[in-house]
Structure 1
């Protein structure tokens, strides 16, 4: 469930004060400042994913401080991963300044005072992790983690961003156990990026491999309709050797070829259920999702779903029609 909050329904003169209260409730105790008297606009969307708290914020630009007084009044039991979605934002902490560009990630401890602002609009996603879950993985002691920016050219950022995207995309399909494993993998990726303790170096290496596998899977899903897609091409595009790619899939239940086939079949399954695609023949659907041979598509589809594509489409259309008749 997503909790959504907006300034839109509040009287213009009260919006910024209400925004300050909402940030303290849904983010951290902060001290916002704004010079202009123009009506303020801001939205917050918050959800829980296992042990992770995910908050999306879009609002007019202003200065935000988390002062020592704010920390003393309301210390946080989390660390956070900040993902810049659009525009730029700057951060200052302990005399250091960094600028986050779209796609950049900033990892930080909210119990170390900082300031942030933007000349445009704030548009970011905040992933908050329990301190109790992350601190045992870190080489640094509590209170010693400075802000770390992971730029778009850094491999650690690409792996972490892809893992976070996949976690949001697949959350509805994850069991509680799988979700907890995904959260632990994120914690290990964060620890690896900022400095993992000696005891956590092997778990961090495994987390990197899981995240790299997810990146390969995402790339394969995007390109699955390409009939010429091969493991060699995917490996090259992901900066891997062919052997390394196949070794990554040892972490999965399926080989590369099995994963590619199942991805294509899932897309065919969705198209056969889609009323807007009824004019497209079953053979054409097979070609559209990446199968070179109609016979291979039909055989694989029957093995996966227990029926031929045409019979599956007819049965689904009949079921939808009967349901519609019953409702009317």
Structure 2
């Protein structure tokens, strides 16, 4: 992968490199490589397509944007990090991503991040995308760090625009920045369409847990929400498209099982009380009332129907 730009590196005090990067990109903690007598690096600022951009070369062990760095110097940006030479592992939001030459990663500057170089020379281009603009255009999908998949055709289009921005006159900045935003938006839109609906996933898990645990009288909506890792109010909102609440769905499941147990052949050998307890009810008066409201008959009448049907068959 051919590098997009060229930079010379020179021996530099780590404090100077830290200050240069901090002036352009915000505060970072930089750890020099232990096996180097002296670190090499250079950081300079450039305007590309209307975006402030940092071109950085370094051979340090790692650079970290800690919570302390963010408190000291909150940068309201997303950084489109382009690995131009060498390699780097980006850690953000609980994930680790290896960047090889040509790879791109949108870093959330408001969240802790770490960049590991293992003392090997790396050259990166960091395009600063204003946070308000990104969130206004694309929403929360930007948050927490996003890797750009280089197998996606949009990656190639983004790289082409980056090349154009590097070598175009400043007056073309607006057109190129709009083109770049458009490609980012198209990438995010495709990413959204491929991701499973989190609401649908939670509902599916909730229904599965109800089916597995409805016989337990201690299993209620609060326990269900706890098992799913959401608040009870959120769980109730997820259930709204189904036309009922988690509690109603749980009761319906218990009633359906009780009706099936009392209506099947040979049900006369099962007492209504035992059936109610076996289906997760611990309040018999509530069970009788809910059963009649649901099926229009009492549990005993449902059981008698099964006896009559059995007599006819005999």
- Tell me which interval the TM-score lies in, with the shorter structure as reference length: 0.5 to 0.7
Q: Are 2:115 and 1:121 equivalent residues in the alignment? A: no
- Report matched runs for 1:170-209 at 5 Å: 171-172=168-169, 176=171, 178-195=172-189
Return the offset for 1:185. Answer: 2.0
Is the alpha carbon distance of 1:165 and 1:35 closer, same or farther for their aligned partners in structure 2, counting shifts above 3 Å?
closer
Match of 1:164 in 2: 162
Q: Is the Cα–Cα contact under 8 Å of residues 109 and 146 in structure 1 kept in the other structure? A: yes
Q: Tell whether the 8 Å contact from 1:62 to 1:118 is kept in structure 2 after alignment.
A: yes
Which consecutive residues of structure 1, in runs of 5 or more, have no partner in the other structure?
A: 199-328
- Structure 2 CA distance for partners of 1:135 and 1:105, relative to 1, 3 Å: same
Give the distance between the partners of 2:115 and 2:180, measured in 1 at CA.
Answer: 25
* Deviation (angstroms), 1:146: 2.3
Superimposed CA distance per residue, residues 92-123 of structure 1 (whole angstroms, 9 cap, x where no aligned partner): 11221110111111112111111111132121
Contact 2:77/2:108 (CA < 8 Å) preserved in 1?
A: yes
Which residue pairs with 1:310 in the alignment?
Answer: none
- Corresponding residue number in structure 2 for 1:21: 19
Q: Specify the alignment match of 2:111 in structure 1.
A: 112
Q: How far apart in 2 are the matches of 1:50 and 1:188?
A: 14
Contact 2:31 2:62 in 1 (8 A): yes
SS in structure 2 at match of 1:138: helix
Q: Could you tell me how far apart the structure 2 residues matched to 1:102 and 1:7 are?
A: 21
Query: Does structure 1 conserve the Cα–Cα contact (< 8 Å) formed by 2:10 and 2:40?
Result: yes
Do the aligned partners of residues 197 and 134 (structure 1) sit closer, same or farther apart at CA in structure 2, a change above 3 Å counting? farther
Q: What residue is the counterpart of 1:67 in the other structure?
A: 66
- What is residue 97 of structure 1 aligned with on the other side? 96
Alpha-carbon offset, residue 132 of structure 1: 2.7
Give distance in 2, aligned partners of 1:7 and 1:195.
Answer: 42
TM-score between both structures, scaled by the size of structure 2 = 0.53
Distance 1:62 1:180 in 2: 37
> Residue 70 of structure 2 contacts residue 112 of structure 2 at CA under 8 Å; is this kept in 1?
yes
**CA RMSD after TM alignment:** 2.6
1:1-328 mapped onto 2 (5 Å cutoff): 8=11, 15-36=13-34, 38-49=37-48, 51-119=50-118, 120-140=120-140, 145-169=143-167, 171-172=168-169, 176=171, 178-195=172-189
Question: Do 2:50 and 2:177's aligned partners in 1 also have CA atoms closer than 8 Å?
Answer: yes
Question: Max radius of gyration: which structure?
Answer: 2
SS at match of 1:139: helix
Q: Does structure 2 conserve the Cα–Cα contact (< 8 Å) formed by 1:7 and 1:43?
A: yes
How many aligned positions are there? 184
How far apart are the structure 2 equivalents of 1:134 and 1:189?
12
SS of structure 1 residue aligned to 2:183: helix
Name structure 2 gaps, 5 residues minimum: 1-6, 193-314
Instruction: Normalising by structure 1, report the TM-score.
Output: 0.51
Q: Could you tell me how far 1:193 is from its partner in structure 2?
A: 2.3
* Separation in structure 1 between the aligned mates of residue 191 and residue 103 of structure 2, nearest angstrom: 25
Conservation of the 8 A alpha-carbon contact between 1:138 and 1:196: no
Instruction: Report the alpha carbon displacement of residue 82 of structure 1 after superposing the two structures with TM.
Output: 0.8
